[in-house]
Amino acid sequence: MTAVSSGPEQAAAGPGGSEVLDRVREFLVGHPTAGADRLAFLRARFDAGLARVDLPPGQGGLGADRDLQAVVEDELRAVGAPEHRPSDNPIGHGMAGPTLRAFGTDEQCRRWLRPLWTGEEAWCQLFSEPGAGSDLAGLATRAVREGDEWVVHGRKVWTSLADRARWALLVARTDPSVPKHRGLTYFVCDMHAAGVEVRPLRQITGETEFNEVVLDGVRIPDTDRVGEVGQGWAVAQGTLMNERVSYTSGTAPRHSGGIGALLAAWHDHPERRTAGLHDRVLSLWVQAEAARLTTARWEQELARGRPGPEGSAIKLEHARLNQEISQVELEVLGDAGLRYPDYSERAPEPVPWTEAAPGWRYLRSRANSIEGGTSEILRTVVGERVLGLPPEPRIDKDVPFSELPR
């Protein structure tokens, strides 16, 4: 997950390339890499502003230009420094960090950003509910104020990493008497607090990648509220923006990903080749290559500071192509496409997409058009925000949440 995301943009008034390089070398004098303790090294690196140089001082950065991060990474790699692994804490890096930096207090940033970056504390998000998926603002989890605390009751679903997360981003309803978007508040929830119960949710692959989280009288100090009371929708929108970005970053080489696996299957199974399948494989190659070039173009525009509307388009195509390519791959495999590695209930191991079994890829890809905003919601986003088409008439915008049919 590369950093095309977020964060407050810093003016180029910060240190330049040679100054950043000096800082790295200076840092390495005080923190030799030989025999270094990984965690201690990463903490010190954060404190030295070398975590992400474009962020402000105190938040792991130097207020430098974003491009200069490469100077840091190259230098640290050259001396074999302990590795930073953002993939250990995807929701922390992709969503919690940007949200805290944009909406959190100084104290909250001080408390959470460093262990988030080092990976000591993993994060998850408590957004979706059984009764609130695409219509997130219709969520029913209640937070009631009691003195300096909030008492939370509710049920959240589709929470990945809840079993190992230390903290959660939580949106709860604090005022049901106002229209739904206005009665929400954003919190950070301690996943070790009393009343938090994590139950694995089994999915169609057989695995328990996601969880259901029951919140039964969980007490959250008011100091762990992010943004104002009633401002939760705006904060959540900021988080979700980052989610869509983080789902779609990186320009891969030609033939990487699912299309590479499909071509490999095609080569390995000459006996399965028909004219009809041949044209479908080539047609998918065309679409996959188009999607790859679209991502490349989007990143070029981002580099020029002119992000286009491609973000939602990229996610829509990514979902559709993963599904179609993996389906045709099963057809190419024939007999082997009838087999599945293992349906036993278990927590999944993270495996690169193309190294997973074809049947698993086929099944897992069905979630691509649901997670991070369904394809239907994204089409509405494209229609309204990109094309400027008028919104659907709404019956739920000016009615108190408590009076909505549910």
Partner 1 sequence: MTTLAESPPVGDLRYSEVEEDLRAAVRALLDRRAGWQDVLARTETAEPVDRALWRTLAAELGCAALPVAEELGGAGASWREAAVVAEELGRAVAPVPFLGCSVATALLLAVGERDLLAGLAGGDRIVALAVPAASAPGEPLVPLAVDADRISGDVPGVLDAAAADVLLVPAGGALYALDVTDPGVRVTPAVSLDMTRPIADVTLDAATGRRLATGAVVADAVAAAQRIGAVLLAAEQLGVARRCLDEAVAYLRDRHQFGRPLGSFQALKHRAADLAVLITQACAVARYAADCAATGASDLPVAAALAQAHLSPTALRAAQECLQLHGGIGFTWEYVVHLFLKRATSQAIVLGTADRHRAALGELLGVPGPEETS
Residues that bind partner 1 (CB under 8 A): 251, 253-256, 260, 263-264, 266-267, 270, 273-275, 278-279, 281-283, 285-287, 289-291, 293-294, 296-297, 300-301, 304, 308-310, 312-313, 316-317, 376, 378-380, 382-384, 386-393
Selected catalytic residue, list 243, 317, 324, 329: 243
State the maximum Cα–Cα separation within the chain, in Å, rounded to a whole number. 72
Q: CB nearer to partner 1: give 222 or 376.
A: 376
**Least separation in angstroms between CB 264 and partner 1:** 6
**Least separation in angstroms between CB 390 and partner 1:** 4
Q: CB nearer to partner 1: give 290 or 347.
A: 290
**Least separation in angstroms between CB 55 and partner 1:** 27
Q: CB nearer to partner 1: give 35 or 270.
A: 270
Task: Note the residue count of the chain.
Answer: 406
* One-letter-per-residue 3-state SS of the chain: CCCCCCCCCCCCCCCCHHHHHHHHHHHHHHCCCCCCCHHHHHHHHHHCCCCCCCCCCCCCCCCCCHHHHHHHHHHHHHCCCCCCCHHHCHHHHHHHHHHHHHHCCHHHHHHHHHHHHHCCCCEEEECCECCECCCHHHCCCEEEEECCEEEEEEEEEEEECCCCCCEEEEEEECCCCCEHHHCEEEEEEECCCCCEEEEEECCCCCCCCEEEEEEEEEEEEHHHEECCCCCHHHHHHHHHHHHHHHCCCCCCCCCCCHHHHHHHHHHHCHHHCCHHHHHHHHHHHHHHHHHHHHHHHHHHHHHCCCCCCHHHHHHHHHHHHHHHHHHHHHHHHHHHHHCCCCCCCCCCCCCCHHHCCHHHHHHHHHHHHCCCCCHHHHHHHHHHHHCCCCCCCCCCCCCEHHHCCC
**Least separation in angstroms between CB 395 and partner 1:** 14
Q: CB nearer to partner 1: give 254 or 339.
A: 254
Q: CB nearer to partner 1: give 382 or 399.
A: 382
**Least separation in angstroms between CB 299 and partner 1:** 10
Query: Cα angle vertex 222, ends 114, 109, to 5°?
Result: 20
**Least separation in angstroms between CB 40 and partner 1:** 39
Q: CB nearer to partner 1: give 109 or 261.
A: 261
Q: Is 243 part of the annotated catalytic residue set?
A: yes
What are the catalytic residues? 243
